[in-house]
């Protein structure tokens, strides 16, 4: 892989040590680290190939090439398109409201709007199914998946809006452009990277979704994989290959859409919030409906289950504490690992964006298109064959969370990287600071919001993960999700409900911290700005 730095900033004297550093320095190291990370993340795909070989072509052929596969393919594509369109519109609109307008109770909204990510999909699916068992599969699946995935667009877009200099928007408005024109022609191009990144995550998440589609009777490739598990687990693994292909197509399409890096000026100030005036009530009502549908309905259903349950005691409560501890520990470790891995990969394309680097970076997204259980079983295979000491330990579960949710971390970190102008680091170096010092004092602080958002997003998602957790949780350890599953599958909905409620409560913590952290940043910035 070519590693020579081509774009030497003009104002930097190319000293011998500088050349040496550029040649063997951070650039190459980041690429090397990224290659290692990508290989580790994509290892489960190699195991899928082994599975396919072991299962034999005839079984795969028999299952894959039949009429039903066309239905599954049509369903998978239709639902992906419907959901990504809805989620992108909802996510961007919500982010614009919280970041650019004088929204009453802004701080609370920033927490509430993220919460749907933290509600286990099987809870949402059951909630809607029990409210209306006759809900059409496609309508229901679109509704539930949109409500569950729009935060994947909302979070990076909100982070991008926070980081984008509003000067151009102000200028556009001062030149007489209306609110909508300004948004479409100025704001939208600025947050394009974030919107596309979030949308890719939404599609990949929809492709690998299982619980919601199963409950709402909408058959996709992933529900077929779970059915195939009852036949031949190796063939089921091999059936993930169409998912990988769909994921690659999405990434390739996304890759050819031209990106304009967000222009960031060195001085940055915070946008003066737009007064909503007469639009205040309708805006609040719209956001209210969104939160009621996404959070209120499932939470309400959980309380209803608890009230309706005839079981006099809730034996579930006995393990609530330990399950909470296990969930928080594994999820936060998984989130930490994911963010640490995402940093070098995002940095790799930071200063220089060559084709191999971009392909390398984008390949790491593919895992998001795979169901958790497929990744988990490939780790079982790996550990039992090559690393038995790790088998049955929590290390494997933490690794699984990091692999499964790595793309979520990467999108958030990348959004920040895209907005940390390389020129800033150049200035730092031109002032005689070393690379590490520049990274720590200039680049890193600019990345912190992305790192924090990435950590929170992975944490929230890992808290609700079920299928990989069931396979990999150390024996005897219960997490909130596995306990919920255990009681719910026994029709003890009342006993299951407290676990889901604690999951949602836990998820509020990072959501709230994120909101508060950003609010603390505001006044400081405002005083620095012109």
Partner 1 sequence: MLLAGGLAVAACGGTTSAGNSGPSGHASQTITLYSAQHAQTTAALVAAFTKQTGITVRVDNDGEDQLTARIELEGGRSPADVFYSENSNWLQQLDDKGLLAPVDPSTLAHVPKVDSATNGQWVGVSARVSVLVFNPSRLNSSQLPSSVLDLAEPQWKGKLEIAPSETDFWPIVSSVARSKGDAAALAWLEALKANAGSGDEVPDNETLTSDISQGTTDLGIINHYYFYRLQAEVGKGSLHARLAYFAPHDPGFVEDISGAAILRSSKHKAAAQRFLEFLSGEAGQSVLAAGDSFEYPLHPGVAANPVLTPLSHLQPSSFTPAELGTGLDAKKLLQEAGLI
When binding is defined by CB under 8 A, the residue of 489, 520, 527, 530 that contacts partner 1 is 489
CB of 63 to partner 1, least distance (A): 8
By CB under 8 A, the residues from 383 to 442 that bind partner 1 are: 384, 388, 391-392
Q: Is residue 492 a contact point for partner 1 (CB under 8 A)?
A: yes
Q: Is residue 229 a contact point for partner 1 (CB under 8 A)?
A: yes
| Residues in CB range of 359: below 8 A, 6 or more apart | none
Query: Pattern 357-376, binding to partner 1, x per CB under 8 A?
Result: ----------------x---
Helices (H), 56-191: 57-64, 67-100, 106-112, 121-131, 137-163, 167-174, 179-182, 188-190
When binding is defined by CB under 8 A, the residue of 59, 121, 209, 214 that contacts partner 1 is 214
When binding is defined by CB under 8 A, the residue of 61, 68, 441, 522 that contacts partner 1 is 68
Q: Which is nearer to partner 1, 24 or 231 (CB)?
A: 231
Angle subtended at Cα 264 by Cα 259 and Cα 269, rounded to the nearest 5 degrees: 140
When binding is defined by CB under 8 A, the residue of 7, 17, 134, 174 that contacts partner 1 is 134
Q: Which is nearer to partner 1, 227 or 354 (CB)?
A: 227
Which tokens is 444 given?
């890193």
Eight-state DSSP code of residue 283: H
- Over the Cα atoms of the chain, what is R_g? 24
H/E segment holding residue 324? helix 320-351
Q: Is residue 487 a contact point for partner 1 (CB under 8 A)?
A: yes
Shortest CA distance to 301 belongs to which of 496, 147, 117, 511?
496
When binding is defined by CB under 8 A, the residue of 284, 354, 381, 422 that contacts partner 1 is 381
Between CA 338 and CA 361 the distance in angstroms is: 14
Whether 137 and 72 have beta carbons less than 8 Å apart is answered as no
CB of 235 to partner 1, least distance (A): 11
Q: Which is nearer to partner 1, 345 or 374 (CB)?
A: 374
Q: Which is nearer to partner 1, 41 or 383 (CB)?
A: 383
Q: Is residue 380 a contact point for partner 1 (CB under 8 A)?
A: yes
CB of 427 to partner 1, least distance (A): 54
Q: Which is nearer to partner 1, 117 or 127 (CB)?
A: 127
- Collapsing DSSP to helix, strand or coil, 152 comes out as helix
Where does this chain touch partner 1 (CB under 8 A) — which range of 61-69, 77-85, 340-348, 352-360? 61-69
- Collapsing DSSP to helix, strand or coil, 250 comes out as helix
When binding is defined by CB under 8 A, the residue of 265, 325, 437, 490 that contacts partner 1 is 490
Q: Is residue 482 a contact point for partner 1 (CB under 8 A)?
A: yes
Q: Is residue 137 a contact point for partner 1 (CB under 8 A)?
A: yes
Shortest CA distance to 407 belongs to which of 215, 254, 179?
254
Give how many residues touch partner 1 by CB under 8 A: 45
Shortest CA distance to 148 belongs to which of 96, 202, 99?
202
Dihedral sign, Cα of residue 494, residue 496, residue 499, residue 505 = negative
Q: Which is nearer to partner 1, 290 or 466 (CB)?
A: 466
Q: Classify residue 167 as exposed, middle or buried by CB count within 10 Å of its CB (0-12, 13-18, 19+).
A: middle
- Collapsing DSSP to helix, strand or coil, 101 comes out as strand
Per the listing, tokens 């795979």 go with 370
Q: Which is nearer to partner 1, 109 or 229 (CB)?
A: 229
Between CA 108 and CA 515 the distance in angstroms is: 8
Q: Is residue 231 a contact point for partner 1 (CB under 8 A)?
A: yes
Query: Pattern 244-273, binding to partner 1, x per CB under 8 A?
Result: ------------------------------
Q: Is residue 449 a contact point for partner 1 (CB under 8 A)?
A: no
Where does this chain touch partner 1 (CB under 8 A) — which range of 25-33, 183-191, 381-389, 405-413? 381-389
Q: Which is nearer to partner 1, 490 or 519 (CB)?
A: 490
Scored b (16 or more CB within 10 A) or e, 390-413 reads ebbebbbbbbbbbbbbbbbbbbbb
Q: Which is nearer to partner 1, 133 or 300 (CB)?
A: 133
- Size (the chain), residues: 530
Q: Which is nearer to partner 1, 14 or 315 (CB)?
A: 315
Between CA 85 and CA 297 the distance in angstroms is: 22
Q: Is residue 308 a contact point for partner 1 (CB under 8 A)?
A: yes
Q: How far, CA to CA in Å, does 44 sit from each of 293, 374, 517? A: 36, 8, 36
Q: Which is nearer to partner 1, 217 or 259 (CB)?
A: 217
When binding is defined by CB under 8 A, the residue of 136, 325, 356, 434 that contacts partner 1 is 136
Between CA 397 and CA 490 the distance in angstroms is: 25
Alpha-carbon dihedral 109, 113, 114, 118, rounded to 10 degrees? 120
CB of 426 to partner 1, least distance (A): 51
Q: Under the rule (CB under 8 A), what is the footprint of partner 1?
A: 63, 67-68, 129-130, 133-134, 136-137, 214-215, 217, 227, 229-231, 233, 236, 308-311, 315, 373, 377, 380-381, 384, 388, 391-392, 467, 470-471, 475-476, 482, 486-487, 489-494
């Amino acid at each position: 892989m070519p590693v020579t730095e081509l774009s030497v900033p003009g104002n930097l004297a190319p000293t011998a040590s500088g050349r040496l550093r550029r040649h063997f320095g951070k650039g190459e190291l980041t690429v090397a680290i990224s290659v290692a990370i990508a290989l580790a993340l994509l290892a489960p795909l190699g195991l899928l190939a082994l599975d396919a070989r072991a299962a034999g072509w005839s079984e795969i052929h028999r299952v894959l090439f039949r009429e039903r596969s066309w239905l599954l393919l049509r369903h998978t594509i239709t639902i992906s398109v419907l959901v990504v369109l809805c989620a992108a519109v909802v996510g961007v609109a919500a982010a614009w409201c919280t970041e650019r307008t004088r929204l009453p109770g802004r701080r609370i909204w920033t927490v509430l709007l993220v919460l749907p990510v933290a509600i286990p999909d099987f809870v949402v699916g059951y909630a809607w199914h029990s409210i209306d068992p006759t809900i059409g599969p496609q309508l229901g699946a679109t509704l539930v998946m949109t409500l569950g995935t729009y935060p994947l667009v909302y979070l990076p877009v909100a982070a991008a809006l926070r980081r984008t200099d509003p000067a151009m928007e102000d200028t556009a408005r001062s030149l007489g452009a209306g609110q909508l024109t300004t948004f479409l022609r100025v704001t939208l191009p600025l947050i394009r990277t974030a919107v596309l990144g979030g949308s890719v995550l939404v599609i990949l998440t929809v492709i690998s979704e299982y619980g919601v589609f199963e409950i709402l009777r909408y058959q996709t490739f992933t529900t077929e994989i779970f059915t195939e598990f009852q036949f031949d687990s190796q063939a089921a693994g091999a059936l993930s290959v169409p998912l990988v292909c769909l994921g690659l197509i999405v990434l390739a399409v996304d890759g050819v859409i031209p990106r304009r890096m967000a222009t960031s000026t060195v001085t940055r100030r915070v946008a003066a919030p737009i007064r909503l005036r007469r639009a205040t009530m309708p805006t609040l009502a719209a956001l209210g409906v969104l939160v009621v549908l996404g959070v209120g309905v499932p939470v309400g259903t959980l309380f209803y289950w608890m009230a309706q349950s005839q079981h006099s005691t809730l034996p579930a409560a006995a393990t609530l504490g330990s399950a909470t501890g296990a969930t928080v520990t594994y999820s936060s470790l998984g989130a930490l690992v994911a963010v640490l891995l995402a940093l070098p990969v995002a940095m790799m394309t930071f200063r220089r964006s060559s084709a191999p680097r971009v392909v390398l970076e984008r390949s790491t997204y593919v895992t998001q298109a795979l169901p958790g259980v497929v990744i988990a079983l490939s780790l079982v295979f790996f550990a039992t064959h090559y690393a038995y000491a790790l088998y049955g330990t929590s290390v494997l579960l933490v690794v699984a969370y990091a692999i499964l949710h790595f793309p979520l971390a990467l999108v958030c970190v990348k959004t920040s990287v895209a907005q940390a102008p390389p020129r800033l680091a150049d200035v730092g170096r031109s002032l005689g600071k070393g690379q590490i010092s520049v990274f720590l004092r200039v680049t890193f602080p600019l990345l912190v919001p992305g790192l924090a958002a990435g950590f929170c997003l992975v944490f929230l998602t890992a808290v609700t993960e079920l299928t990989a957790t069931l396979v990999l949780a150390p024996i005897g350890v219960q997490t909130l999700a596995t306990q919920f599953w255990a009681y719910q599958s026994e029709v003890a909905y009342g006993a299951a409900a407290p676990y889901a409620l604690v999951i949602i409560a836990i998820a509020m913590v990072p959501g709230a911290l994120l909101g508060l952290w950003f609010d603390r940043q505001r006044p400081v910035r405002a005083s620095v700005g012109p």
